[in-house]
């Protein structure tokens, strides 16, 4: 029952009619069934509410109705006014978003026993640190406006659990004080670590408020220290080449938002607050950042893969500039084959042929 109470907590459900009452509740494993009596004239009768471990449905056939509201509101009152209903040893975290209930396996995403620390997470000051790794790695910055209404304790628990596992939770001046920025440690670019990272981010997504400036930024490491003198001339020339990416890829669709003052279009020069930030290529631990993403983006994984592709593109142009060889007119030819499928859904029609050429070039 404790798991179920957490599962059915709404984002602010309300009782629309005192003539709708819950008659019976039956729980079996992760399944839930309730009978609701409706004594109103037009909708008089008994209705069956079921929860199959993922979705709430009512026998009246409507996606949102008074019967669902009555059940979830009644149950949620027991959840957030009595902390004891949140089991610190729970294996699953249930999160309700509209009419869907998501069951998150905490052990599967490396956050077992995450619900033991429900208190407000400590927020560090802003830091700018980089860690040298022995492999290709990525790191993410995830900006939230704070917890969703009614999900404060679960949000706190997940953030605290991530901090215990090497993440940082920091202040960020671009978002409300109720929120913060989650920063991951370096993550190896390999299928299993990346999939684990995405699952953790999706968990935070369900528990967080999102706004205009809740950004999702991805950093990726470079394979070698880059020559500073070469970079000085490279930046201005590369900015012109990168404009083809803005032309061929629907970045607003990929990022989940349009451009803004923290993530602008490319001009004649690449500055820190463009959607692609190359400022850190000159550091002792060179990294590239794609900062155009939003926490409201449809696919976090696609943005991560796009960032790796931008690293391939940047490094390919850098080598051509340094060696004084001609550039490819097709930017996708610099990108490794396995990444092209993540870019394809966002390309405009005129880029389809270029993408096909890149597929064939890689296969050859």
Reduced 3-state DSSP string for 181-241? EEECCCEECCHHHHHHHHHHHHHHHHHECCCCCCEEEEEEECCCCCCHHHHHHHHHHHHHH
The answer on pLDDT for 41 being more than 80 is no
Among 10-14, 34-38, 242-246, 301-305, the range scoring the smallest mean pLDDT is 10-14
Tell me if the pTM is above 0.85. Answer: no
**Average pLDDT, rounded, for the chain:** 81
Q: How many helices (DSSP H) and strands (DSSP E) are in the chain?
A: 9, 13
**Which helix (H) or strand (E) element contains residue 97?**
strand 92-97
Q: Which ranges constitute the DSSP H helices of the chain?
A: 2-7, 66-80, 152-164, 191-207, 228-248, 251-255, 300-323, 337-343, 352-363
Residue-wise over 306-333: b if at least 16 C-beta within 10 A, else e? bbbbbbbbbbbbbebbeeeeeebebbbb
Model confidence at 22, pLDDT cuts 50, 70, 90, reads confident
Burial level of 185, CB count in 10 A (0-12/13-18/19+)?
middle
Model confidence at 301, pLDDT cuts 50, 70, 90, reads very high
The CA-based angle 199-205-207, given to 5 degrees, is: 115
The pLDDT tens digits of the residues spanning 53-97 come to 667 788 888 877 888 777 766 554 433 333 334 667 778 787 777
Please say whether the dihedral angle defined by the alpha carbons of residues 199, 200, 205 and 206, taken in this order, is positive or negative.
positive
Residues across the chain:
364
The answer on pLDDT for 248 being more than 50 is yes
CA–CA dist 143, 257 (Å, integer): 14
Please give the span between the terminal C-alpha atoms of the chain, in angstroms, as a whole number. 58
- The whole-number pLDDT of residue 53 equals 65
- The whole-number pLDDT of residue 32 equals 64
Instruction: Determine the average pLDDT of the residues in 132-152.
Output: 87
- The whole-number pLDDT of residue 87 equals 66
CA–CA dist 43, 193 (Å, integer): 51
More confident residue, 112 or 272: 112
């Amino acid at each position: 029952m404790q798991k179920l109470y957490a599962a059915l907590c709404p984002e602010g459900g309300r009782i629309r009619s005192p003539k709708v009452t819950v008659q019976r509740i039956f729980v079996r494993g992760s399944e839930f069934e309730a009978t609701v009596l409706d004594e109103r004239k037009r909708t008089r009768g008994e209705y069956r509410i079921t929860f199959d471990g993922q979705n709430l449905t009512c026998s009246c056939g409507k996606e949102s109705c008074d019967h669902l509201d009555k059940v979830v509101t009644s149950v949620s009152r027991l959840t957030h006014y009595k902390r004891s209903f949140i089991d610190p040893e729970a294996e699953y975290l249930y999160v309700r978003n509209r009419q869907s209930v998501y069951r998150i396996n905490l052990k599967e995403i490396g956050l077992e026993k995450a619900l033991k620390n429900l208190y407000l997470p400590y927020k560090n000051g802003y830091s700018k640190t980089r860690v040298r790794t022995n492999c290709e790695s990525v790191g993410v910055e995830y900006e939230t406006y704070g917890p969703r209404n009614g999900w404060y304790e679960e949000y706190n628990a997940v953030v605290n659990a991530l901090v215990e596992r090497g993440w940082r939770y920091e202040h960020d001046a671009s978002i409300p004080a109720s929120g913060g920025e989650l920063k991951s440690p370096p993550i190896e670019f390999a299928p299993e670590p990346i999939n684990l990272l995405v699952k953790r981010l999706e968990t935070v997504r369900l528990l967080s408020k999102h706004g205009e400036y809740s950004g999702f930024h991805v950093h990726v490491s470079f394979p070698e220290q880059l020559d500073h003198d070469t970079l000085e001339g490279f930046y201005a020339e590369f900015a012109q080449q990168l404009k083809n990416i803005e032309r061929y890829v629907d970045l607003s669709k990929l990022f989940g938002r349009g451009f803004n003052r923290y993530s602008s279009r490319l001009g004649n020069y690449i500055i820190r607050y463009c959607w692609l930030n190359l400022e850190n290529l000159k550091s002792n631990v060179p990294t590239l950042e794609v900062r155009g993403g939003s926490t409201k983006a449809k696919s976090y994984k696609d943005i991560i893969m796009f960032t790796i592709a931008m690293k391939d593109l940047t490094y390919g142009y850098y080598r051509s500039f340094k060696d004084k060889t001609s550039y490819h007119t097709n930017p996708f030819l610099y990108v490794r084959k396995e990444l092209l499928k993540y870019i394809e859904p966002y390309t405009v029609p005129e880029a389809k042929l270029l993408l096909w050429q890149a597929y064939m070039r890689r296969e050859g």
